[in-house]
Amino acid sequence: MSKKESLSVVPKSERRTWIIEQLLSAIKSDEIFHTLDYRNKTEAYIKQYMHQILKRCLLEIHRRISPGQKEDTLKRKASDSLMWEGDVNTTINHIRFLGVQHRPDFKVRVDGLNIAIEVKRGDSGAGIREGIGQSLVYAASEDFDFVVYLFIDISKDKKILESLRRDRERAFVDSLWDKYNIRFDII
């Protein structure tokens, strides 16, 4: 039975989990959220900032995975590992699912893994639902082993971020990771 038929997930090793956590940490960086006026900037603007931080993160990941390699080689690997929909020099191919095309904001290829990164911002449930739906599509495809989904809460009272303190929401977030290899977080 193929992944498509069974929706089985790629096993989570310590190394794979570390890679996912490094990528999530990079897109949640203080450098982004304490520097930018993210409440008033567009998603595209925020993703442009994330792109450079992800490249630095991937350089560190490659340093750890391939110790002793030349710096130029590591930089090339880091650059080749990251595709961004906003970069005119790269193409993230669409995947077809349920009759329509989908593509993540970023695609990362590292250590034999294909990882989709989705970023949404908003102050209501629409962005959360859209991002969760997209993440499930990527997880169900044969194109991605893991998905990282970050929702940027721009509500005045941070009600969406605060919801993660509730047991039901934590259980849901945990189930996305356990069942679908989707690492979802809110900032």
Could you report the per-residue pLDDT of 24-76, keeping only the tens digit for each? 999 999 999 998 889 888 998 999 999 999 999 999 999 999 989 999 999 99
On the question of pLDDT at 3 being above 70, the answer is no
What tokens appear for 129 in the block?
A: 């639902």
What is the spatial distance between Cα 80 and Cα 74, in angstroms, rounded to a whole number?
A: 10
In the block, tokens 């794979």 appear at 16
**pLDDT tens across 131-183, in order?**
999 999 999 988 999 999 999 999 999 999 999 899 999 999 999 999 999 99
- In angstroms, the CA 45 to CA 36 distance is 9
Split at pLDDT 50, 70, 90, the class of 88 is: low
**Higher local confidence (pLDDT), 2 or 23:** 23
119 φ, ψ (degrees, to nearest 5):
-130, 130
Q: Identify whether the C-beta of residue 144 lies closer than 8 Å to the C-beta of residue 178.
A: no
Number of Cβ within a 10 Å radius of residue 37: 7
Element (H, E) at 118: strand 113-122
